[in-house]
């Protein structure tokens, strides 16, 4: 299935990836993309999104063309993120901050963001630092993923000054071991593993292949067109992970203004809301996002009172 369309019909207004991909422009940024271009039955130029190498080349071109990021790459077994959708999360986070700052996106140098589970692709810190100048702590439990992220930063020294990679030493911790006693973050973000088991992750992959008209292909052994276990599943799936995140966030309640996480399944929301109520958060929001036919959302919460929020914004923004 070859397509030139980008899932951008309802992207955030500030998202750089509106409309159809401009392949002529992208080829100037990444000539190797030409190896994957073809013409579909409608006469449109595009790539086969079932081809992991093609998607990786497209991502590399988008990141270089839109954000000036050089040499982006990930190992074959790692998750390849869709750049337009990942950028959307960051733009809506900027709006979230603006809502706590009299409608103005904070632009003060040194705004601190925490990316939980940054992965080998490092996508959120790369785009967030390029687009808004934010500084990031990018945490992951996998040393190999962080090694790849460091290789990307080595090719982008200006961004490397704003992005600090940290290894999460404990499989049972999220914030503990990452957030220092003397650190404050303006926001945290996360794209949690959403499957409950390896078997469920494989079933999800098969459904995707069938939707692409390629059932029974050799790709049946692949997970989600790439993806390490920790990227795709954990015991209890995304709900259990987010509930644990909420519980841990209460232990550092005043050290982060907005805690946020993507929520893939709407069925997870009631359990998340119950956990937020139990944690006694001061304020919570559910922000809807949409990329083409895909509906997505993230949940945000803060333990800061209105007075504390105003003081934070005055002091830091």
Q: pLDDT tens digits for the chain (317 residues)?
A: 444 554 445 899 999 999 999 999 999 999 999 999 998 777 788 999 889 899 999 999 999 999 999 999 999 888 888 999 999 999 999 999 999 999 999 987 789 999 999 999 999 999 999 999 999 999 999 999 999 999 999 999 999 999 999 999 998 899 999 999 999 999 999 999 854 544 554 454 444 434 445 554 444 334 333 444 555 545 668 999 999 999 999 999 999 999 999 999 999 999 999 999 999 999 999 999 987 667 889 999 999 999 999 999 999 99
Q: Which strand (E) or helix (H) includes residue 190?
A: strand 185-190
pLDDT at residue 108, rounded to an integer: 73
pLDDT at residue 216, rounded to an integer: 46
pLDDT at residue 43, rounded to an integer: 77
Query: What distance in Å separates the CA atoms of residue 307 and residue 62, rounded to the nearest whole number?
Result: 41
Q: Is 18 part of a structural domain of the chain?
A: no
| Nearest residue to 54 (alpha-carbon basis) of 73, 77, 33 | 33
Please give the structure tokens belonging to residue 157.
């020294």
Q: Is 128 part of a structural domain of the chain?
A: yes
The 10 Å Cβ neighbour count of residue 251 is 11
Q: Is 36 part of a structural domain of the chain?
A: no
Q: Is 215 part of a structural domain of the chain?
A: yes
Domain membership of residue 245 as a residue range = 74-316
pLDDT at residue 230, rounded to an integer: 53
Buried b / exposed e over 32-55, threshold 16 CB at 10 Å, is: ebeebbeeeeeeeebbbbbbbebb
CATH assignment at residue 258:
3.40.50.150
pLDDT at residue 193, rounded to an integer: 85
pLDDT at residue 219, rounded to an integer: 42
Q: Is 52 part of a structural domain of the chain?
A: no
The 8 Å CB, 24+ separation contacts for 34-42 are 38/2, 39/2, 40/2, 40/3, 40/4
Q: Tell me how far apart the terminal alpha carbons of the chain are, to the nearest angstrom.
A: 47
Count of domains forming the chain: 1
β-pairing, 256-262 with 294-302?
antiparallel
Q: Is 15 part of a structural domain of the chain?
A: no
Q: Is 51 part of a structural domain of the chain?
A: no
Q: Is 196 part of a structural domain of the chain?
A: yes
Sheet containing 2-3: order of strands: 2-3, 45-48, 38-39
pLDDT at residue 275, rounded to an integer: 98
| Nearest residue to 4 (alpha-carbon basis) of 222, 25, 75 | 25
Query: What distance in Å separates the CA atoms of residue 245 and residue 134, rounded to the nearest whole number?
Result: 23
pTM, entire model: 0.86
């Amino acid at each position: 299935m070859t397509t030139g369309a980008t899932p951008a019909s309802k992207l955030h207004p500030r998202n750089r990836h509106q409309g159809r991909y401009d392949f002529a422009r992208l080829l100037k940024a990444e000539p190797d993309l030409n190896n994957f271009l073809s013409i579909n039955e409608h006469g449109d130029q595009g790539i086969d999104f079932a081809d992991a190498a093609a998607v990786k080349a497209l991502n590399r071109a988008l990141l270089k063309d839109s954000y000036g990021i050089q040499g982006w790459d990930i190992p074959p077994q790692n998750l390849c993120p869709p750049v337009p959708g990942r950028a959307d999360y960051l733009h809506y986070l900027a709006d979230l901050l603006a809502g706590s700052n009299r409608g103005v996106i904070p632009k003060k140098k040194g705004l601190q963001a925490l990316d939980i589970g940054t992965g080998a692709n490092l996508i959120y810190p790369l785009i967030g630092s390029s687009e808004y100048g934010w500084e990031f702590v990018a945490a992951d439990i996998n040393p190999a993923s962080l090694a790849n992220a460091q290789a990307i930063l080595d090719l982008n020294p200006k961004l490397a000054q704003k992005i600090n990679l940290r290894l999460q030493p404990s499989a049972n911790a999220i914030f503990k071991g990452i957030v220092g006693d003397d650190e404050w973050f303006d926001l945290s973000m996360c794209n949690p593993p959403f499957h409950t088991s390896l078997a469920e992750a494989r079933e999800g992959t098969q459904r995707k292949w069938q939707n692409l008209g390629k059932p029974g292909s050799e790709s049946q052994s692949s997970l989600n067109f790439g993806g390490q276990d920790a990227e795709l599943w954990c015991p209890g799936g995304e709900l259990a992970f987010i509930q644990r995140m909420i519980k841990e966030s209460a232990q550092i309640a005043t050290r982060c203004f907005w805690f946020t996480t993507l929520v893939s399944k709407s069925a997870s929301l009631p359990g998340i809301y119950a956990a937020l109520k139990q944690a006694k958060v001061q304020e919570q929001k559910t922000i809807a996002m949409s990329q083409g036919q895909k509906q997505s959302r993230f949940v945000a919460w803060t333990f800061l009172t209105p007075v504390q929020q105003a003081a934070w914004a005055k002091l830091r923004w």
